[in-house]
Structure 1
Amino acid sequence: MPNEVVSRLAARVAEAGLDALICLSPENVAYTTGFVVPSHPLMRWRHTAFVLGADGRCAVMCVDMEQSTVEQAVGEALPGARVWAWPEFGGEAMHTLGQLLRELDLGGGRLGIELSYLSVSDHAKLARDLPAATFVAADQLLQRARQIKTPDEVERLARLSAIADRAISDSFAAISAGSTEMDLAAALTRSVYEQGAQQFKLMIVATGERSQLPNVGPSDRVLKPGDVCRVEIFPVIDGYHAGVCRTAVVGDPPPHAERIYQNLVECGHLVQDAIRPGAPTREVYRVFRAKFDELGMPPISFVGHGIGVNLHERPYLGPEDPETLRPGMVLGIEPLVYRSGHGFGMQIKDMVAVTDEGCRLLSDVSDTDRLHRIEL
């Protein structure tokens, strides 16, 4: 039997008047199959495809080099689904995909496909191979489907949130003044893997004056007393990400740090209190801004976003987003200040799930009400 994600998606495919859906991006192949084909995210031309009929039939296409790996994964995640392989040398992925679709009696069907991922040249090849088919952009259908997580997806993201939260705490405990950002990164990644993550995507290690910079990785910078340290990591399991960020100080905090940090803490609590089913995302952002503006500093244009197989997904908790929160959504919420005007930046990022009752904190390992401390 197909997994719950596939069952839900098949119903959407039928409702949209499509005969089948073709997923091609690493994110949506992971979303539908429940696993990542190893080289798929690394080489765009090494096509993998997941085909889902409106009747629930499904098949997977991959490069021949990874056929055995994919067959094993499909046997566990999607029993009964057939695996097709295209030859890497001398073959053509779009031709094999066309053969697969014809064998499933879909060669003349109305086919939803990821037009924002498929290259123009590959689309032309597939269209030539299936002249009777009608290709329809299905990117929005997939984005909307991914917004509401199944219970299994929520629990996977909860596990990832705990891994990230604990790994950051472990890294703070493993270093002291005189350590480098690379030392912190080594402790951070060791903990991520020790806890069972398969890999990680983005890692931010920004200390001292570098804490003002968005999305920077570790350097050889040596930690000094009074340094503010912003650390964030996105561990990955089966293509899913969770992002958690924590702020620490080496020894005693510099002037103004406690005041700024406590404002961020209050912002985070207010945002969590405002997250509930039916709440407009713009209203959640308005609640955040009402408190954040007390700092007198320019905020970012959102305070949260959806997350799952992509680091950023809709909805956004921002001033222009028209979405309404619904149970099953999982969000990263992140009150932050990059340019505090005092030579440092601060951030608290948590993972939360929208429930029938309100908001569930998923990244609940560490106490964020107080600045983390790194020993001198």
Structure 2
Amino acid sequence: MQRVAALAEVLRARQLDAAIIDAAEHMRYLFGYSASAVMYQCCIVTADGGVHGVVRKLDEAVFESASWVTDHVSYVDWEDPLDLVVSEIRRLGLAGAAIAQEFDSNYLTVRDQRRLAAALPEVRFVDISGIIVEMRVRKSPAEIEEHRRAAAIADVGVGAILDAMREGVSEGELVAAGYAASLAAGADNNAPRIVLLGMGASTQHYHSSVGDGRLEAGQPVHIELLPQSNGYSSRLMRPAVLGAAPEYLQSSVGQLVEIQDRQFAAMRPGVPAKEIDRIGREGLAAAGLREAFPHNTGYGIGIITGPKLADFAHLFTPGSEWELEQGMVFHMYLSAAGIQISETVCVTEDGVDILTSTPRELQIRQLGRSA
């Protein structure tokens, strides 16, 4: 309710009468409800702080259970949700109003926005993309605790996968071990997957599906955990190997950790993100680990829900002019030689707090261990 009050204040300051909120992560952030993408759902926030939901009848019980919003209408599957949105806008006396929309919402298609504009010709639709994203950037102490709990679950999941490593074990079995441990520890993911994993050549396939490979001695394993606590995501990548580790693997992991440590030492409020990115990017090049690094070295996280897998509003790239602020939470990662290492960190008053705690090293499991 405090978050909605802050949004209503923005609407009044911009002389807007209402906002239609349909981005899934913002439905969760503002109203406590994770909407399915199968059919259109939204909440209409008026400038006086009122909230009016439009939900699918099948999901109505979930909405009533999860959300603090009591004023809502529902539609059955053979009705058109956009017709109900138009009807609600008229019922609320907003047919000639200035109404904000998030034009960057993954749940608002071009077709649906055009339909709303055609059905409500007297309405002035205004784009407020980025407003709620900025509200979400600085996490409250309660939100940071959710990240901390998710980070602890990630540590548990990594440990379970390491314990399951033995010759001949399949990728599916390792993934299942991580899922089981994470769910038992309290993960409540609705998206994305909890475990990403690859063996051998597939360690570089960050977001691939579970393969059919079986673990061999000396074969590197990429382990990534993405559990959520109350929707808040923390993430952790660790490289592992069964049996004797090749020298290149040991050396590469040590260098990645050292470069990332330099990034963490430089992170504090007021530092430009591009400076932290530069440390990582130049460190990789100077160590001879990579000739090019075509992606970011970190990104903001918070509430995550489908279809988005991450919050890319704040990326660490060479062109990132934004500055770090206390309360921001990031997934920071580096990769080279087919391996990755990462942490979830929170910006504090004078540095960063690393929320994940699995030892930052190559995880080595001995041969001949029983399942």
Q: TM-score, normalising length from structure 2?
A: 0.90
Distance in 1 of aligned mates of 2:344 and 2:41: 30
Distance in 1 of aligned mates of 2:143 and 2:11: 20
- The Cα shift of 1:10 comes to 2.7
- The Cα shift of 1:238 comes to 4.3
Over 3 Å counting, the alpha-carbon distance change for 1:48 and 1:236 in structure 2 is: farther
1:94-119 deviations in Å (ceiling 9; x for gaps): 12112222333333221111223322
Aligned 8 A contact 1:50 1:61 in 2: yes
Distance in 1 of aligned mates of 2:186 and 2:323: 34
Aligned 8 A contact 2:146 2:230 in 1: no
Which secondary structure does the structure 2 equivalent of 1:230 belong to?
strand
Distance in 1 of aligned mates of 2:34 and 2:230: 6
Which secondary structure does the structure 2 equivalent of 1:315 belong to?
coil
Which secondary structure does the structure 1 equivalent of 2:281 belong to?
helix
The reply to whether residue 225 of structure 1 matches residue 217 of structure 2 is yes
The reply to whether residue 88 of structure 1 matches residue 82 of structure 2 is no
The one-letter amino acid paired with 1:142 is: I
Aligned residue among 9, 19, 32 for 1:21 = 19
- The Cα shift of 1:201 comes to 1.4
Over 3 Å counting, the alpha-carbon distance change for 1:59 and 1:356 in structure 2 is: farther
Look up the match of 1:131: 121
Distance in 1 of aligned mates of 2:61 and 2:347: 38
Distance in 1 of aligned mates of 2:15 and 2:335: 43
The reply to whether residue 323 of structure 1 matches residue 284 of structure 2 is no
Aligned 8 A contact 1:206 1:230 in 2: yes
- The Cα shift of 1:334 comes to 0.2
The reply to whether residue 234 of structure 1 matches residue 226 of structure 2 is yes
Aligned 8 A contact 1:175 1:183 in 2: no
Deviates more, 1:290-299 or 1:188-197: 290-299
The reply to whether residue 72 of structure 1 matches residue 65 of structure 2 is yes
Which secondary structure does the structure 1 equivalent of 2:93 belong to?
coil
Distance in 2 of aligned mates of 1:313 and 1:146: 12
Matches within 5 A, 1:1-376: 2=1, 4-37=2-35, 40-41=36-37, 43=38, 46-74=39-67, 77-78=68-69, 81-89=70-78, 91-117=79-105, 118-199=108-189, 200-202=191-193, 203-296=195-288, 297=290, 298-308=292-302, 309=304, 310=308, 311-337=310-336, 340=337, 345-364=338-357, 366-368=358-360, 370-376=361-367
1:32-61 deviations in Å (ceiling 9; x for gaps): 112313xx13x1xx1110222222211221
The one-letter amino acid paired with 2:325 is: R
The one-letter amino acid paired with 2:83 is: H
Over 3 Å counting, the alpha-carbon distance change for 1:232 and 1:348 in structure 2 is: same
- The Cα shift of 1:12 comes to 2.8
The one-letter amino acid paired with 2:221 is: C
Distance in 1 of aligned mates of 2:88 and 2:332: 42
- The Cα shift of 1:373 comes to 1.7
The one-letter amino acid paired with 1:234 is: L
Distance in 1 of aligned mates of 2:49 and 2:356: 35
Over 3 Å counting, the alpha-carbon distance change for 1:177 and 1:294 in structure 2 is: farther
Distance in 2 of aligned mates of 1:256 and 1:5: 49
- What number of residue pairs does the alignment pair up? 356
Distance in 2 of aligned mates of 1:371 and 1:130: 59
Over 3 Å counting, the alpha-carbon distance change for 1:11 and 1:363 in structure 2 is: farther
Structure 1 residues not aligned, in runs of 5+: none
Aligned 8 A contact 1:351 1:363 in 2: yes
The one-letter amino acid paired with 1:61 is: V
Over 3 Å counting, the alpha-carbon distance change for 1:59 and 1:324 in structure 2 is: same
Aligned 8 A contact 1:30 1:238 in 2: no
Aligned 8 A contact 1:70 1:83 in 2: no
Over 3 Å counting, the alpha-carbon distance change for 1:88 and 1:153 in structure 2 is: same
- The Cα shift of 1:13 comes to 2.9
Which secondary structure does the structure 1 equivalent of 2:82 belong to?
helix
Aligned 8 A contact 2:17 2:99 in 1: yes
Over 3 Å counting, the alpha-carbon distance change for 1:107 and 1:356 in structure 2 is: farther
Aligned-CA RMSD value: 1.9
Distance in 2 of aligned mates of 1:127 and 1:238: 35
The one-letter amino acid paired with 1:99 is: S
Distance in 2 of aligned mates of 1:362 and 1:23: 31
1:159-194 deviations in Å (ceiling 9; x for gaps): 112212220121111221221111111101111111
Aligned 8 A contact 1:201 1:236 in 2: no
Which secondary structure does the structure 2 equivalent of 1:335 belong to?
strand
The one-letter amino acid paired with 2:245 is: P
Which secondary structure does the structure 1 equivalent of 2:240 belong to?
strand
The one-letter amino acid paired with 1:372 is: Q
Aligned 8 A contact 1:35 1:238 in 2: no
Aligned 8 A contact 2:165 2:242 in 1: no
Distance in 2 of aligned mates of 1:66 and 1:301: 38
Over 3 Å counting, the alpha-carbon distance change for 1:23 and 1:352 in structure 2 is: same
Distance in 1 of aligned mates of 2:9 and 2:224: 37
- The Cα shift of 1:267 comes to 1.7
